[in-house]
Structure formats: C-alpha cells, structure tokens
Amino acid sequence: MAVIRDVMAAFRLYQPSSIADAQQLLQENQNDALVLAGGLDSMDWLKDRIKKPKVVVDLGGIAELRGIRETRDGVEIGAMTTLTEVALHSLIRRKYDLLAQAAHVVASPQIRNQGTIGGNVSQDTRCWYYRAGWPCYRAGGNICYADTPVGRNREHAILHAERCVAVNPSDTAPALIALEAKFIVMTPKGQQVIEAEDYFVGPDLDITRMNMLRPGYLLTAIRIPSTWAEADFYFEKIRDRNVWDFPLMNVASAMKLSGNTIQHIRIAVNGVAARPLRLKRVEEAVRGQPRNVLTGEAAGKLAVQGAVALQFNAYKIPLMRNLVKRSIGGVPEAAWAC
C-alpha cells in the first residue's frame, strides 16, 4: 500500500474560468502540469507525493465544461459534469440508461457528487505497486512487480497483458463504448473528435499512459449519438463491496432486436485489460442469432478465448464468461452466482 504523508509537495495552483485559459496553461506548462477535475484520483497522487507537479490546473471554475445538453443527434455531456448528475438526469435515464446505470454504481454517493464523467474515464490504474511509487514498467522501470511469482495480482489483467498487467478501473468507459460515444479533446493543433474505444491506450501503444491525453491536451465533452437511444441495455459490475470499490470486472451492452433476434449489438468489458475492451468478435458471432441462454453461453466462451490467468486471478476467466453470457442471453433468476 502507498505510504500516506501529511504534507503535499508544493505547487502553483491555477483556477481558469474558460476552456481557452485552461488550454493555454496546459500548453505553457506541458509535463509540469497536473489537471484537477473532481480531484479524487489526482489528490491521491498528490497526498502520497508520488506525482509532484509544479503546476495544478483546477477545472472546477469552468462553467462551459459542465452540463448535459440534448443535441439534434443525441446528447453532449460536459467533461466536468458530476457522476451524480449523469446518473439522475432525466434524458440520460430515458434514452441512454446504460450510462446512468454505470454512473450510479461508481464508488459511493459522496464520491459521485464530486467525481466527474471526464475524470472517471481518464483516471489512472489502481495497481498498488504503481500507485506506491515502485519502479515498474509503467513508471519507467524494467519490471512488472504484479507479474512475478510473489506478485499480488488478484485484480489484474487476463487479456492483452504486454509487460504491464494493470487494468483500467473506469465504470463508465465500457458503457460509453457500447453507446458509440465520441470524446471531444482540445489539443495544441485544435479540436479532435475521438471514438470512445480509441480514447483508451494499452501498453502495446504506450505503457506510460491509460488514454490518449498528452501534455497540453484537455478532454472537454462526451457526445453520445442517438443511434442507440432507448436500445435494450445491460450493465453489471462485480466488486468486493457494494459501495466505494472499483470493479473487479464490469460489462456493458447495447442491443437492438427484431422480435427475439439480435439485429445490432455493441458490447464492452472492463477490468480485464489495461484498457476497456470492445468485444467485436462476440458482436459478429451473435448478430442475427436469437437472444437466449444458448447464444449467451456461446458468446461467453468466445469472449474468453486467449485469456491467461495470473497466480491469483484465475476467477476472472469464468467471471468474464458469465458476465458476457448474461449481458446477451438475459439473467435467469438463479443465474446471478458466478
């Protein structure tokens, strides 16, 4: 566990009132700056003195980063909109309830009141070796302490583990991928619109980052198209405790049916790899099939092909298989136990 110290390292705090001002500060300070959204991830780094930025840019005073707005083709959510607002907003609950469900199970009510949607998708991994300042691959070292004979890896990856076996901890990320959301990012070269599944970065691309944000970049909004509005949704999160905990694993699916036949589907899981994974092979396999337990069972088996357990996380393979099965085939009353 991280050693908690009483005093943070000194830094300069800036509280811009506009996106333009925030972006200018981030571009001027580049690698010396830390972005503060809800602060729940950032404050851990600061209190533990693992990250010692010279500049902290607090986004809390930027009104244009907050709010949920219906658009001609869906909805736009400001990056600084709290998870509570997302979970309770009438439009989200009516048309995009998958996201409302995901936001509602993040941590605890107090944390959801402070935590933001942008922060939830942009937070760093919770691997305790990395968070405690051990010189692992992700921190610039030459070893993954979790992936050793004595490593503690119960919460770690079973898929796409390239040197680093840490996992992405976001609950809202798989829901946004299933909803085909787009992330709006301001860069030094202008605005970029990024598909949700492309926002997240695995260790095969860059082992030091969990997403595509670079120094000087700023996530400003998330847009959800009307494509999946009022579709058939499924979200489930497995965790050790019913409140506060990060997911051991979660699954999100959006489905359109013709009678009982699956016409279109998007499905994503998190807690199995360094980035949330869209299960494209599963989508292709179940498209055109009846929505039932048999289809769900076949999908679950396909989803875990290639999964490799570490010393303490073999339970994640049957867990993933069953979550995918339930997200497609439905949940019989006695099927909740994995």
From CA 249, how far away is CA 286, in angstroms rounded?
22
Residue 330 has pLDDT above 80, yes or no: no
Task: Please tell me the least confidently modeled range out of 147-151, 202-206, 332-336.
Answer: 332-336
From CA 255, how far away is CA 177, in angstroms rounded?
13
- Residue 182, strand partner residues: 195, 223
**What is the average pLDDT across 67-79?**
98
Residue 7 has pLDDT above 80, yes or no: no
The DSSP 8-state label assigned to residue 225 in this structure reads E
Q: 């499905």: which residue's tokens?
A: 267
Which tokens belong to 198?
């492309």
Task: Note the pLDDT of residue 4.
Answer: 55
Task: Note the pLDDT of residue 48.
Answer: 84
**Between 242 and 221, the higher pLDDT residue:** 221
Of the chain, the percentage scoring pLDDT greater than 90 comes to: 90
Report yes or no: 209 and 123 within 8 Å, Cβ to Cβ.
no
Judge if pTM exceeds 0.75: yes
CATH 3.30.465.10 domain range(s) in the chain: 63-122+168-228
- Residue 233, strand partner residues: 254
Domain 63-122+168-228 has CATH 3.30.465.10: yes
Residue 138 has pLDDT above 80, yes or no: yes
Task: Note the pLDDT of residue 285.
Answer: 98
CATH 3.30.390.50 domain range(s) in the chain: 232-329
Residue 2 has pLDDT above 90, yes or no: no
Report yes or no: 146 and 175 within 8 Å, Cβ to Cβ.
no
Q: How confident is the model at residue 336 (pLDDT cuts 50, 70, 90)?
A: very low
Output the CATH code of domain 232-329.
3.30.390.50
Task: Note the pLDDT of residue 5.
Answer: 57
- Which is nearest to 215 in space by CA: 11, 17, 53? 53
List, for residues 37-63, the tens digit of each pLDDT value.
Answer: 999 899 988 888 889 999 999 999 999
From CA 97, how far away is CA 179, in angstroms rounded?
10
